[in-house]
Amino acid sequence: MNARIWITSALWGALCAYASLAVAQTAAAPRVDAAHRLVGSDGMTLYTYDRDSPGGPSRCEGICARLWPPALAAADATLPEGYGVIVRADGSRQWTWRGRPLYRYTGDTKAGSMLGDGVNGTWHVARHP
């Protein structure tokens, strides 16, 4: 195998692995941490997007959803009070809080990170009152 093909294969493999990490989500119900932030079962911060309408479809698709992966719910998810589920354009199910879809941010690399808060003035940490 020549070097050019190997580099291309290695780069493609790395990109695929990164993409799968960005969209891999736990389907468990979000929870509230000590600071009243909504987090996934792994402690990663969840966000809302100002362009989404409560009860409406997600407006974060394509490239947006690669940077802001939806917090996915299992088909048999139990809905605690205040939570809901919407069906995305691709048929996957996404958690909502008070009707607003919930997302993660790929820039957050450890539990408790909130690097997505305030991005473009439209992304905000989801908070429980």
Per-residue pLDDT of the chain (129 residues; tens, 9 = 90+): 444 444 444 434 433 444 434 444 556 888 888 789 999 989 999 999 999 999 889 999 999 999 999 999 999 998 999 999 999 999 999 999 999 999 999 999 999 999 999 999 999 999 998
The answer to whether the CB of 114 falls within 8 A of the CB of 46 is no
Looking at residue 11, its pLDDT comes to 39
pLDDT of residue 56: 85
Q: Note whether 129 and 52 are within 8 A (CB).
A: no
- Both structure tokens of 90: 């691709």
CA distances (Å), origin 121, targets 36, 94, 125: 21, 22, 12
Measure the CA–CA gap between 52 and 61, rounded to whole angstroms: 11
What is the pLDDT, as a whole number, of residue 105? Answer: 98
Best CA proximity match to 88, nearest among 108, 114, 112, 69: 69
The predicted model scores a pTM of 0.79
Residue 116, pLDDT score: 97
What pLDDT does residue 51 have? 97
> What is the pLDDT, as a whole number, of residue 84?
94
Q: What is the pLDDT of residue 26?
A: 52
